[in-house]
Amino acid sequence: MSETESFSDHPRRAEFVGFAEQLADISRSLLSGNSAGAAAQCKSESNPATEFDLVVESTLRARINDQYPRHGIVGEEFEPERRDAEFVWVLDPIDGTRAFAAGIPVFTTLIALCHRSEPVIGVIDAPASGDRWVGVVGSATRRNGVETSTRDLRSLEDAVVAWGYPEVTLLEHEAGANALRAATAWRVYGSGSFGFGSLASGALDIAVESGDVVESDVCALVPVVNGAGGWCTDAFGEPITLHNGTSCLAAGTRELHAQAVRLLNSGNQALDTRGARGAELPKAGADRRGLEMPPIWPRRLSQRTTDEGR
């Protein structure tokens, strides 16, 4: 039995989910109305931070330490605390800092809970749009309190792709990234984790982050996408965990995910018939949530047909 399966029956599961949403409420209250004009400082050439990144993360850390002093914390802005604990909270106070500083409303706060390194709760909170996706192992993902699910698309040629920042694509994915972009209908750039939430609501079909990401950028995405009926791994087709989170590739269906993994890694010599780096690809008919697949809900974020934008 995997850790995600054991967490489905954990006696404090509902408590932890409620606490994750409390953290999102705190973050939203600190960020709402404070984006445009926020001064950004670069932690690295491609990784800026604002004063709000620091304030939000330090506030959330204090709340976690007060409520669960034995839980670990891994965040974007500060050193890890108790990283080897059974339960570890993973925080990105502002995913999309450049968008936040520019006043572009696609930034989010990411909150995840990992149980023995596996992401079991994920929250994507978008203060500017008012959207919140909550994914929990063993349950259907909810967007603003309503169950949501991915679009049932199987072919790359009709797929809409959300891509983080192409300029920081991993070197081993450069050739495959060009091939994947050429094989799909059209692309949306710079949406970050908001794109993964949009995928979970059926507005997009594939979302990619390959390069210059860490665990705090991706752990929350896994329960959200998987709970909506999609598939979310790293860009090599391997599971994302607290110790493996340097890329992310999600798709709305198993078939689309398998095609995207193979194409993205088409320039990678480690790719074989079992998937990139020998990773086991998803089996037909399986459901990442351990539930029956829900019906496809109307796409609330976009009513695009497959013929638009070609």
94 annotated as ligand-binding? yes
81: number of Cβ within 10 Å:
17
Residues with Cβ within 8 Å of 167's Cβ and at least 6 positions away in sequence, in order, are 46
Q: Where are the beta strands (DSSP E) in 45-178?
A: 47-50, 72-75, 87-95, 108-115, 118-126, 131-136, 142-143, 146-147, 160-163
241: which 2 tokens?
Answer: 């965990």
State yes or no: 76 annotated in a binding site: yes
How many alpha carbons lie under 13 Å from residue 220 in its C-beta half-sphere? 35
Residue 124 labeled ligand binder: no
Task: Tell me whether residue 307 is annotated as binding.
Answer: no
Question: What does R_g of the chain's alpha carbons equal in angstroms?
Answer: 18
Whether 92 has a binding-site annotation, put simply, is yes
Pairing of strands 231-233, 247-251: antiparallel
End-to-end CA gap in the chain: 45
Annotated binding site: 76, 92, 94-95, 217
Annotated binding site for Mg(2+): 76, 92, 94-95, 217
